[in-house]
Structure formats: structure tokens, C-alpha cells
């Protein structure tokens, strides 16, 4: 909870962004700064540039960005250090169903921010100092809802790779730094609410459910341009139900781990 000026104060009922960091044993290692706009602050995401964190989130119809330095301190006075970087053109106030992703493109020095709000996927790009390099651009339909809906955005080799649903199909998509569409591949003709994707070398591994939410989990492996890699795709988990599979890549052992729900477990 925070008060209506974005400062931390228990009992007001608004939602601030709360940054916390933990070591490998689960101990908190940084004092958590809290920040936000007046009232609602939803679905915060962050990425590390190599020298600081960039955070993006949605407040009502508006998109915001904030920097946290290497000492885990807010850059800029609170609450005025929040940078307004864009707005929902439709003014839908679809805040509860909004989803955001942020990806640092280290080769050129900017953050790509993606927002699904009011069933539309938007893109914008900002520099490390908060300058808007690419204003809000629509990338077409995108799926999210209050209690479901996720997507993935990763940076690799000069562009962003996305995995998302539009309520009818699951797409892999390659987006340039200016928001232009480089490639688009349909992975499945169903609504997949919780897709997951990791990059392993030059290949992208997309994990999803055959039934959209329930059913057998599958992996689809593509190159960066969305071309299917022969002999790599198919069902996983010996046919068992694997809801919402989420993957991570361990480069030390060159292995991929997947966690999932099986029934209620």
C-alpha cells in the first residue's frame, strides 16, 4: 500500500512498485525502494543494463519508466522521478488486464517496452537516461485478461523476439528497434494464455499447452527469423498434463529446466 502521492504508507489501499532483491539463500540484500504514481501501479517489470535497472509499469491508461542505480537507489526525486513514456491511445483504462515486458538491447543502448492493454500490443523504446527513442506504436491485437494472460519479449542480435497470443493464435514475432515487423510465425491456432520462451544459442524454445491452458505441454524450436528448426519440436513430459510450463536455461550445464502445474500440484 502507498498514499496517493506514491510514497510508502500503509493503509491507503493503492499499489506502489516495490523493488526487492535476494541472494541465493533467499535473504534480502537490498533495502526495498517503493515508488509509483498516484493510485494504481500495475504489472511492473525490470531489466538490467549492466550499470542500472530500468523498470516499466502501467498506471491506469499511462505507461511509466523508472531507473534504479547499481546501489539499488531510485534515480530522481520521488515521486517526480517517474518518467511518463506513453499512453493507451484508446484511453481504455484496462489497467487490471494490462501486461508489460521490458528488454535491454545492450548493443545499441536502449530499453524496448511492450504493453498489452485493451487487447492491443504496443511497443515503445527509451534510452538509458529515459529519453523516448520510439513513441508508442501498435503491433496489432494481443491477448491479456485480469486473471490470465502472459507473453515474452527477449532481445537478441539487433531485434526483439516476442511470444504472445491474440486470443486465436500463438505467435512468434521478430520486431526491429523501430517497432517494424521483421518476421511472424504462427505456432498454434489456439489461445495460449501462459506461453514461455527462452533463448539457447541461436535458437528460441517456446513452451505452451496444446489446450491453451490445460493439456500436454509442447516445445516449438525456431531460429531468430521464426523458421522451424527440424527435429527439435514436439510434446514433452510423457503426455502428462502440464499447465503453464515456464522454462529457464542453465548455460553452465547446457540444460533447460521446466516447471509446471499438474492438477493442483
CA separation for the pair 143, 9 (Å, rounded)? 34
The pLDDT tens digits of the residues spanning 130-189 come to 899 999 999 999 999 888 889 999 999 999 999 999 999 999 999 999 999 999 999 999
CA separation for the pair 4, 2 (Å, rounded)? 7
What's the whole-model pTM score? 0.92
The pLDDT tens digits of the residues spanning 189-235 come to 998 989 999 999 999 999 998 876 677 889 999 999 999 999 999 98
> In degrees rounded to 5, what are phi and psi of residue 46?
-145, 160
CA separation for the pair 258, 245 (Å, rounded)? 6
User: From the CB of residue 92, how many other CB atoms can be counted at a distance below 10 Å?
Assistant: 15
> In degrees rounded to 5, what are phi and psi of residue 96?
-70, -25
CA separation for the pair 203, 47 (Å, rounded)? 21
Strands 62-69 and 120-127: unpaired
Amino acid at each position: 500500500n502507498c498514499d496517493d502521492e506514491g510514497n510508502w504508507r500503509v493503509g491507503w489501499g493503492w499499489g506502489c512498485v516495490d523493488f526487492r532483491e535476494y541472494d541465493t539463500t533467499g535473504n534480502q540484500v537490498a533495502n526495498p525502494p517503493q515508488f509509483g504514481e498516484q493510485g494504481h501501479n500495475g504489472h511492473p517489470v525490470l531489466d538490467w543494463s549492466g550499470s542500472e535497472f530500468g523498470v516499466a509499469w502501467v498506471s491506469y491508461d499511462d505507461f511509466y519508466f523508472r531507473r534504479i542505480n547499481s546501489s539499488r537507489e531510485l534515480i530522481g526525486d520521488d515521486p517526480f522521478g517517474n518518467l511518463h513514456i506513453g499512453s493507451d491511445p484508446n484511453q481504455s483504462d484496462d489497467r487490471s488486464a494490462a501486461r508489460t515486458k521490458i528488454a535491454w538491447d545492450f548493443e545499441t543502448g536502449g530499453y524496448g517496452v511492450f504493453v498489452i492493454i485493451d487487447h492491443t500490443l504496443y511497443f515503445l523504446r527509451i534510452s538509458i537516461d529515459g529519453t523516448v527513442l520510439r513513441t508508442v506504436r501498435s503491433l496489432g491485437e494481443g491477448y491479456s485478461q485480469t486473471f490470465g494472460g502472459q507473453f515474452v519479449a527477449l532481445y537478441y542480435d539487433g531485434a526483439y523476439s516476442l511470444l504472445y497470443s491474440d486470443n486465436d493464435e500463438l505467435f512468434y514475432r521478430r520486431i526491429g528497434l523501430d517497432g517494424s515487423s521483421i518476421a511472424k510465425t504462427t505456432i498454434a491456432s489456439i489461445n495460449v494464455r501462459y506461453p514461455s520462451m527462452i533463448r539457447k544459442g541461436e535458437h528460441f524454445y517456446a513452451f505452451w499447452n496444446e489446450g491453451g491452458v490445460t493439456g500436454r505441454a509442447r516445445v516449438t524450436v525456431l531460429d531468430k527469423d521464426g523458421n522451424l528448426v527440424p527435429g527439435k519440436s514436439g510434446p514433452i513430459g510423457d503426455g502428462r498434463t502440464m499447465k503453464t510450463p515456464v522454462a529457464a536455461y542453465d548455460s553452465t550445464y547446457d540444460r533447460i529446466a521446466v516447471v509446471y502445474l499438474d492438477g493442483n500440484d
